[in-house]
Structure 1
Amino acid sequence: MFRRVAIIGGGAAGATLLSELLERPASQPLHLDWYTGGGTPSRGVAYGTRSERHLLNVRAASMGMFANRPGGFLEYMQKRDPNISGNDFLPRCWYGDYLETETTAALARAKSHGHDVRIVPHEVDAAVPENDGVTLFQGETTTRVDAAVLALGALTPRPLPGVDDDALASGRYVTLPWSLLADAKPDTQPHKVLVIGLGLTAVDVIVELAARWPNAHFTAISRHGVLPEVHQAHASLPYEDSDELVETMRDAPDIRTWLHLLREAIEHTDDWRRVVDSLRPHTPGLWGLLPHNDRARFLRHARWAWERARHRLPPQVAHAITALEKEGRLQRRRGHMHRVSLTPNGLQMRFAPKGQTVEQPLDADLIVQSVGLETDVRRTQHTLLQQMMTNGHIHSDPFGLGIHALPNGRVLHDGNAWPRLFAMGSMLRGTLWESTAMPEIRQQARHLADQLLAG
């Protein structure tokens, strides 16, 4: 077993791996160094919000922190309120409370079992992996560990191309929507807000700011101009032919064939969500079967439709968005941003509507960029990842979706796997595709703990 392990990342992924390791019986005491960076350990960006308007998009019954107790979150919440149902989509801040509670309990168990856990509230500046260990540099401190796990979550978003420097410097163009929402005060001024993107985070931005700024009007632009699909109020029965569908897909790893099979299955069921949801446990394995060209074809042409169907809105949030549209406070536009510049009155976007060649000016007091998770390590400003990329310790996956790694999390370099360097969570999107939500993260934590304790 690896007796000294560093977990780099203080969000839900890092907390889940830490808790999984501390829950296991170990033949010898562990020494765990948990580099949590800034913010509150366990919550990260995903669950750091304090607004009860921001809801989980997975039902409470499926959000347990541990793979062997998927109902743990529901049990925790029903102790607070017995009326809570497993079908409910609950506030993400409540889930952050749950993660903190479970992590605190794990740390308490660690002491009673003789484990040594060192929580370091700083980032790791550099790391040098070798075949017999990993050396970490943090400030002037150097630490040698038996193994290290990169559990970094999503990266800080970069401004989109075409945003002028003075627009960025004005503070009116926002690339960190969660920081904006944390600081936004109630305001009755008639703001004009442009939101780039129409995914789950964009919807959270609109719903929250609309509540705090009752006279604000919103324009949301995206390539296709459509919102995510909506969850049913109650969970559906499992798709009865899922085993046959998955086996047929495995036998023919071709994206065109797969799309045909999915359309055919959906035509023969009462709810398409049942078909999509039946693939979730199998998606990483299926993704691994697809040839490179088919992955590229999927990312170019079908990714947006898959993510819209797979990452759905809770019904309450969908109702709130529909109400804003009916009130005339939200307009959706289909097209592309070409440029954002600073004007005497705020910002102006040069916008190209879908199918048109003539640009239109869109004026705004504030523009919020919300175009999905940033996981491209090739262009990140993240200090540790920059250092490791520059020195050839890690590489990007072929599509810029994260770190090049094996499905078991072992990080690759020059075609070989480091024996003592691992990744989990968002950094494995290129390897597993589905790798950012808690049902996937807890499985990764379980398998990683097996590897780390086996050594």
Structure 2
Amino acid sequence: MFRRVAIVGGGAAGATLLSELLERPVAQPLHLDWYTAGATPGRGVAYSTRSKLHLLNVRAASMGMFASRPTGFLEYMQKQDPSISGTDFLPRCWYGDYLEAETASALRRAKERGHDVRVVPYAVEAVVPENDGVTLFQGESTTRVEAAVLALGSLAPRPLPGVGDAAIASGRYVTMPWQFIASAKPDIKQHHVLVVGLGLTAVDILLELADKWPNARFTAISRHGGLPESHQSSASLPYEDCAELVETMCDAPDIRTWMHLLRDSVTHVDDWRSVIDCLRPHTSSLWQALPRAERARFLRHARWMWERARHRMAPHVAQSINVLEQSGRLRRLRGHIHGVALTDSGVQMTFLPKGETTEQTLDADIIIQSTGLETDVRRTSHGLLQQLMTNGHVRSDPFGLGIEATPDGRLLHDGKAWPRFFAIGSLLRGTLWESTAMPEIRQQARQLADRILAD
């Protein structure tokens, strides 16, 4: 059992692990240091939004913080509004309130039970893992713990290749969309906004700015030009042949075979979503079964299709985006971006439309980059991860999907796993693939708490 533990990262993953540790009955008090880097404990980037236009893309009944209480969020919300249903897609800001409330409750109970919990509102600057413990450096302070966990969430996005320094310095090319839309003021000017990417973050950007800037028009560009699919208003019935499908996929870990199996399966159901959803509990084991070459093939050819089908919009969100398109305020393009330059009147993007050989240009007042989750530690500006990589304490996933680790979260170095140095959440994407949503994070937190507190 590790009694002195450090958790590095103040978002949902760190809060869930902290709360799991404090929920357990233990023979001796715990000493926990939680480094939140100044963020509101529990909310992180994912749930820091205050806009009610930004909805969860998972139904309320499945968003509990604890694996033992998956309906915890629904119960919390129904105390405030009994009319809320488990099938509702609720605002992410409400979920952030729930995480804050659960975390505060866990900290109060910890004090009553004699645990020593330090919430440190600063970032850890360096970590030195060893076989018998982990040392953390923060400012002039040095702390030695028995085990440490990285719960850093997604990394700060880097500008795309070809984006000019002048465009970035001008503020007209935005790489941190959440900060930008949170600070954007209502404006009636006829802005032209160019959004790079068409995932769920892009959808939130479009909804928020369309509301604040009623006369703005939007162009969204991505390699394939497709929006995320939409959830049905009501939940689908479970796919009856899921066990057989998963077994067949495990027997043939080949992307082409899997695509054929999935296409065949969806032709025999009323709603294709039931097939995709049935795979969710098995996705990590399926990913681990894929040889490296097949993982590479998936990332090159099938990832965009999986992301669209797996990470879907709430029905109300899909309707709002459709209204934007039908009214002419939003158009979608397919293409590869070649460069962005600052102009006298704004910014100009050079891109190659899909299927064409001649470059085109797009002029905009502002360009917002929204190209998905950033987990590539090889090129990150994150100081702690740079230190860990430079000193050889951790190593990158070969596809830039985070840090190499064992399936139970132990970080790897020189082909071996550190016995007391772990990660949770998005940095494990290369190992587990599904590692960013609350249903997966809470399961990781439960298993990691079991390991940390095991005799």
The two structures share one fold, judged by TM-score above 0.5:
yes
Q: Which amino acid aligns with 1:176?
A: M
1: CA distance between counterparts of 2:354 and 2:454?
A: 54
Describe how 1:31-46 pairs up with structure 2 within 5 A.
31-46=31-46
Distance of 1:222 and 1:289 partners within structure 2: 30
Unaligned runs of 5+ residues in structure 1 are none
Once the two structures are TM-superposed, the CA of residue 361 in structure 1 deviates from its matched residue by: 1.3
2:292 aligned residue = 292
> Matches of 2:262 and 2:188 in 1, distance apart?
47
Q: By how many angstroms is 1:132 displaced? A: 0.3
**Alignment partner, residue 408 of structure 2:** 408
- The residue aligned with 1:382 is 382
Percent identity of paired positions between Structure 1 and Structure 2: 75
Residue 356 of structure 1: CA displacement?
1.0
**Are residue 332 (structure 1) and residue 332 (structure 2) matched?**
yes
Report the AA paired with residue 248 of structure 1.
T
Q: Which residue of 2 aligns with 1:279?
A: 279
Does the residue aligned with 1:427 lie in a helix, a strand or coil?
helix
1:257 aligns with 2:254: no
Superposed, 1:45-60 pairs within 5 Å as: 45-60=45-60
Q: Secondary structure at the match of 2:97?
A: helix
Q: How does 1:184-203 map to 2 (within 5 A)?
A: 184-203=184-203
Deviation at 1:257, TM superposition (A): 1.4
Distance 2:272 2:370 in 1: 27
Q: TM-score, normalised on structure 2?
A: 0.99
Give secondary structure in 2 for the equivalent of 1:411: strand
**What is the rounded CA distance, in whole Å, between the counterparts of 2:434 and 2:50 in structure 1?**
26
Q: Report the equivalent of 1:111.
A: 111
- How many residue pairs end up in the alignment? 455
Question: Residue in 2 aligned with 1:133?
Answer: 133
How far did 1:39 drift? 2.1
The whole-number CA distance in structure 2 between the counterparts of 1:107 and 1:233 is 37
User: Helix, strand or coil: the match of 2:48?
Assistant: coil
Partner of 2:67: 67
Query: What secondary structure is seen at the aligned counterpart in 2 of 1:407?
Result: coil
Matching residue of 2:19: 19
5 Å-filtered alignment, 1:32-431, equals: 32-431=32-431
Match of 1:441 in 2: 441
Cα deviation, residue 28, structure 1:
1.1
> For 1:129 and 1:285, how far apart are their aligned partners in 2?
28
Aligned partners of 1:38, 1:142: CA distance in 2, in Å?
A: 19
SS in 2 for 1:350: strand
Would you identify which runs of 4 or more consecutive aligned residues in structure 1 move more than 2 Å?
Answer: none
1:38 offset after TM fit, Å?
Answer: 2.3
Compute the displacement of 1:336 (Å): 1.2
Partners of 2:79 and 2:14 in 1: how far apart?
A: 26
In 1, Cα distance between equivalents of 2:120 and 2:179: 23
State the alpha-carbon separation in 2 of the partners of residues 180 and 454 from structure 1.
Answer: 44
Contiguous gaps of at least 5 residues in structure 2 = none
Q: Secondary structure at the match of 1:33?
A: strand
Question: Structure 2: which amino acid aligns with 1:323?
Answer: V
